A = this chain, B = another copy of it.
Amino acid sequence: MQFTTQQRLDDVLEREFTLGEIPGILWMPASISAPTPLILLGHPGGLRTMYPRLADRARHAVAEGFAAATVELPGSGDRPRLAPVEQARADLRRAINAGRPVDAEIVDRLVLPLVDRAVPEWRALLDAVLSLPDVGGPVGYAGGVIAIGIRLALMEPRIRAALLFAGSFVPRSMVEEARRVTIPLHVLLQWDDEHNDRRAALDLFDAFGSAEKALHANMGGHTGVPPHAGEAGNRFLARHLR
């Protein structure tokens, strides 16, 4: 893990880094007394585009006493494109623009390779960040891509709770993985999300095996999560990571 830049934003220390070839960002409280729990900030890919929203979520996480970290997704941002994923993304856009339902096989081609590549990278990020002196477990995952969150929640024992953004673009085979997830989950659903099938999102929530899971549905579109819903999500993480 090579730190490349460092800047102080009020009480937040923001450091960009590279993990091998993968760019990422780490946010920490500027002054730390005890090792802080860590939140992995999930996103749909494109760190530069996502930066304002990620930095805002990170500020709130740090205000709750957490460290926050994220890495670029495979095939996104400055990373080399993945031809099969690009093809699937184009097929997805074509279906959406034509108002056709999105075939499950397109979702499989788009998401499965992303999950298979991204999950080991997020686990490597965990190894690197948890080796820093000021960061200690437990760890939470917060955000999309929900399929990456499902696989991490299932495979990575250091992750104790997950705040997931409901999405319907989940490969068929991963619904079975969702049934085996047991950590506490807090799922945010935008009731009128133009990018998601509400019914599929509700069925996925129902499938999760966790004894503690909550669904918070709010009005509005994909990016319209109200501030109080984000605060409720942070309270959920604080409840399980402190």
Give the interface of A toward B (CB within 8 A): 191, 202, 205-206, 211-219, 228-229, 232, 235-236, 239
Contacts and interface: CB of A to CB of B under 8 A. Distances in A.
Contact of A219 (B213, B229, B232): B213
A217 B211 CA distance: 13
B214 A217 contact: yes
Contacts of A202: 202
What is the total number of copies of this protein in its complex? 2
Nearest to A212: B219
A19 to B, nearest CB: 35
A216 B215 contact: yes
A81 to B, nearest CB: 39
Contacts of A216: 214-217
B215 A217 contact: yes
Contacts of A218: 214
